[in-house]
A and B are shown apart, each in its own frame.
Chain A
Amino acid sequence: MGIISTVLGFCGFGVGVSAGLVIGYFLFIYFQPTDVKNPQIRPLVEQDTESLQRMLPEIPLWVKNPDYDRVDWLNKFLEYMWSYLDKAICKTAKNIAMPIIAEQIPKYKIDSVEFETLTLGSLPPTFHGMKVYLTDEKELIMEPCIKWAGNPNVTAAVKAFGLKATVQVVDLQVFVAPRITLKPLVPSFPCFAKIYVSLMEKPHVDFGLKLIGADLMAIPGLYRFIQELIKDQVANMYLWPKTLEVPILDPAKAYRRPVGILHVKLNKAMNLKKKDLLGASDPYVKLKLTEDKLQSKKSTVKHKNLNPEWNEEYSFVVKDPESQALELVVYDWEQVGKHEKMGMNIVPLKELTPEEPKVMTLDLLKNMNLNDVQNEKSRGQLVVELTYKPFKEEEMPTSFEESHTVQKAPDNTPPGGGLLVVIVHEAQDVEGKYHTNPYVRLLFRGLERKTKYVKKNRDPRWEEEFTFMLEEAPANDRLHVEVVSISSRIGLLHPKETLGYVDINLSDVVSNKRINEKYHLIDSKNGQVQIEMQWRTAS
């Protein structure tokens, strides 16, 4: 009897619990409002001591640490922009998510998944400080401290078997301290080729996840477990030194290094228009590649000839065959006064097939404006032969590449020996008594190397590379670096002047393989010179 009653009691308890849960759910949770309200924000001055005390751990870094900068202007900017950003992001997210969902749901026998609400809320992320690091490498490092404690409301309604269930994410909080590195720096906009992002600490993540109205994150223990899980997952992927790499520019293009050679054979011109009052014109041709800083090349002048034949050859270094073009302008040579333009034309390089000579007969135009009526007049023709030869992969000069892994020495280095590479980057605050046209003189084992000189500059940049082939590691040697100024006037007093020197011990270079540092100059007030040295060995 007792046993049966106990068993029944347990059964009853089981039934009761489920019934109680259902009743409780409808009693306490089902009728809870699911919408997210904007939190009431009272000005800080009105807050009591207790809430101030609660705030203390969250005081922005720029208040606590002088090396963090305040970025309130960015915060304000974000605040003004937030409502627009919110709509734009939600719209894009919806557009991306919907097709994926539509593709996935038939597998799970779900009728439909719909976003009932999708908003990121009224509170924008805030920057609680920004810190930058200056290194001697070609990179920019910044560490913003981003805190987003928002009130987003994302509700997805899942319909399956005639039932509807909602999943709601509310009150998302993400605090991260990423390190953003822009490198390498390149001389074309936006001036960096890649962005590296990594997290310096494990991020703080908190949110409410409501399944049919009940917040799963409120179950004691579950929240902590899920938070740890997310933190570990993110940390595994992006915690420093692991990084997320975002390429911005193709480095090859960014450096604008040569990719080929254009051979131009200037054959002849026909039926040029007469420009001189007396006698025929004296034509010559100027050739130039667009987007190139180099001076244009000139052909010889053919006097008194309206059908000149030149048969001259020129070659140009091509940096970007997609956008560059060859510009040909025919001028009329004059003894005095301005040389008059007789006509021009432009050949885009993408019209050429590599390695294939192409003879082109070009109509000369007044200008490149297609609609100009003046271009309908005939100004004669120009015959040229063009050949574009791209460099083979192995011919590509690689010296432009900035690689931080030290390259191997060439094959012909003796065993035990190697290649000592010295790159003279720049100097700062060098000043001579009489003149400041600095260049750098390197002395190593009696060998002397010099950079070019920079005119009148206290902070010159050279970026020049020198190599020394060595039989053995220069462990006990020193490199003498001297900044010298050369007078711009010839002869006379003070032809040369030393602006400072420094002796660098090379044993560190041998053990470190690569050193890039600024050295204080001796015999100079505040002068510094930045030298990079590499020791490349065969192995």
Chain B
Amino acid sequence: MGLISGILFGTIFGIVLMAGWRHMMRYRSNKRVAKAVDIKLLGSLKRDDLKKICGDNFPEWISFPEYEQVKWLNKELSKLWPYVADAAELVIKESVEPLLEEYRPPGITSLKFSKLSLGNVAPKIEGIRVQSLKEGQITMDIDFRWGGDPSIILGVEAALVASIPIQLKDLQVFTIIRVIFQLAEEIPCISAIVVALLSEPKPRIDYTLKAIGGSLTAIPGISDMIDDTVNTIVTDMLQWPHRIVVPIGGIPVDTSELELKPQGKITVTVVKANNLKNMEMIGKSDPYVVLYIRPLFKVKTHVVDNNLNPVWNQAFELIAEDKETESIVFEVLDQDIGQDKRLGIAKLPLIEIGAETPNEVELRLQPSLDMLKIKDKRDRGTLAVKVLYHEFNKEEQLAALEAEKTILEERKKLKAEGVIGSTMDALDEAVSLVGSGVGLVGTGIGAGAGLVGSGVGAGVGIVGSGLGAVGSGLSKAGKFMGRTLTGHSSKKSGSNTPVTSIQENGGAKSLQR
């Protein structure tokens, strides 16, 4: 009896014990999960949530701006700045100098830092915003402001003139830096970083240039040239959609997805211009058009002499890399002795062009693209163009990518050989080269002009590149060349054919019409 009741009681006791344990397990587990939920919710508080929790005692010092403020980061940065500045100087020098070299304008033979110190004032991060715009990517926008006192001295060497030190003062950089992290499933979890400056709002980079122990007038237009170089580097390298891709970690990753790739081809026909402004004292302007999407790949039309309503009817092919944000820039210039004057400039956003259908657009010319700077509202005339956008498929895209690479390599080679002074002026220089080539084989009237071209071309070869006057000579050669190509010259001999191919590579094909 005792045994059975013992077993019975024991069993019940055991079962109750287990039931109690399970109850405790549930209780504890629920408590932990509830806490996890609380922590998660409190970790991403919004304004309304906080209002609900705090009621009337809402802390006044809290705000929820779109770009979150990072006071602590700024405090740390200002403390760390002297050390960062020291460390960054070497890095900047090593990474920016080749860039300067690549984008250096034709008038300058060498552009280097002779002194670089970043000053005492630390940059400020006004705010940070984190989004995930695409699966597997984190987009971080950093509102970056730096009104610093860096001391940057550029050693500028222009042709025939010895090195002049130029000081860059009162640098101010206001921009939003977009950093995209490509995520991966391996430590450190980030396979690549993409850095770019957001184009909207436009990055503002202000500075003043000052020549040391001399005057900026020693080389005419040098400050414009440097402005231009800085501008080109920023817009063509950094400004969205252009970007810098940095692979991270030991894992080899395919970053081609992140790189900017040729997206489509645009066939632009520059038809004619109407009512151009006359810039010349005697006679009328000699207009031609330079057009580009990326400043590295500029193409230009031939020059129409003495005409304010010129007709060009020339077609070019340009490569688009991001249809949403890029635009074609048309710059109408007056060919002149000395520096060519700008008759007007116009911009055609690619997004306005319908795909696969020919569009005819009439563009109003403006004195400058920066609307804030325009003072005179006078009419500058119009430019009529025809555009056709063709979207690449996969194979075409690859081919275009390859072509782009070979062009840049070709130019680098030419530059190393001293044929062209800089990658930027490849257009003019390649043209002059052809001019000289034609000059050598040309006969009759062509020969005279060709010789002039070759003379200038050779001069350029030695000097490296032309200043204003030489430049105009160059474009004369170029003009001649334009005719040889578009004109129906059958005098092309074998010697200039390979050179012509360079010209073709040097931007877009000058289709013969």
Contacts and interface: CB of A to CB of B under 8 A. Distances in A.
Interface of A: 4-25, 27-29, 32, 39-41, 43-45, 47, 51-52, 54-56, 58-60, 62-64, 66, 69-77, 79-81, 84-85, 87-89, 91-92, 123, 126-128, 130-132, 134, 140, 142, 147-151, 170-171, 173, 185-189, 191-192, 206-208, 214-215, 217-220, 223, 291, 337-338, 372, 457, 459, 461
Most buried by B among A24, A64, A337: A24
22 contacts: A8-B6, A9-B5, A9-B6, A55-B38, A62-B62, A71-B70, A73-B128, A73-B130, A76-B44, A77-B138, A80-B132, A88-B186, A123-B36, A123-B39, A127-B43, A147-B39, A149-B38, A149-B39, A206-B35, A217-B28, A223-B28, A461-B82
Nearest to B88: A189
B120 A45 contact: no
A12 B6 contact: yes
A94 to B, nearest CB: 13
Most buried by A among B6, B34, B43, B138: B43
Contact of B17 (A20, A59, A62, A63): A20
A17 B11 contact: yes
Interface in B168-213: 181, 183-190
Given A8-B3, A29-B18, A52-B53, A188 B87 contact: yes
Contacts of B187: 88-89, 92
Contacts of B131: 76
Nearest to A171: B32
Interface string B270-281: 000000000000
A7 to B, nearest CB: 8
B3 A215 contact: no
Contacts, number: 292
A208 B6 contact: no
A223 B25 CA distance: 11
A374 to B, nearest CB: 8
B52 A208 contact: no
A56 B53 CA distance: 8
Interface in B30-63: 32-46, 48-50, 52-54, 59, 61-62
A28 B37 contact: no
A6 B1 CA distance: 10
B40 A80 contact: no
A187 B87 contact: yes
Given A8-B6, A13-B7, A60 B43 contact: yes
B22 A29 contact: yes
Given A41-B41, A69-B71, A88-B185, A11 B6 contact: yes
B13 A17 contact: yes
A389 to B, nearest CB: 25
A63 to B, nearest CB: 6
Most buried by A among B13, B18, B68, B71: B18
B59 A63 contact: yes
A84 B183 contact: yes
Nearest to B89: A293
The 4 A-B residue pairs with the shortest CB-CB distance in the complex, in nearest-first order: A16-B10, A20-B14, A12-B6, A24-B18
B493 to A, nearest CB: 27
A111 B164 CA distance: 79
A20 B12 contact: yes
B41 A44 contact: yes
B445 interface: no
Contacts of A45: 48-49, 52
Interface stretch (B72-80, B239-247, B422-430): B72-80
B24 interface: yes
Contacts of A11: 3, 6
Contacts of B218: none
A219 B21 contact: yes
Given A51-B38, A58-B38, 16 more contacts: A8-B6, A9-B5, A23-B15, A24-B15, A24-B18, A28-B18, A47-B41, A58-B35, A75-B44, A77-B138, A84-B136, A147-B43, A185-B83, A191-B80, A191-B87, A215-B29
Contact of B189 (A19, A55, A85, A218): A85
Nearest to B110: A338
B91 interface: yes
Contact of A17 (B10, B43, B53): B10
B96 interface: no
B72 A142 contact: yes
Given A92-B187, A149-B39, A16 B84 contact: no
A188 B45 CA distance: 38
Contact of B10 (A12, A127, A208, A223): A12
Nearest to B19: A28
A131 B61 contact: no
Contacts of B27: 218
Given A20-B15, A52-B52, A41 B5 contact: no
A63 B41 CA distance: 14
B36 A150 contact: yes
B86 interface: yes
B22 A32 contact: yes
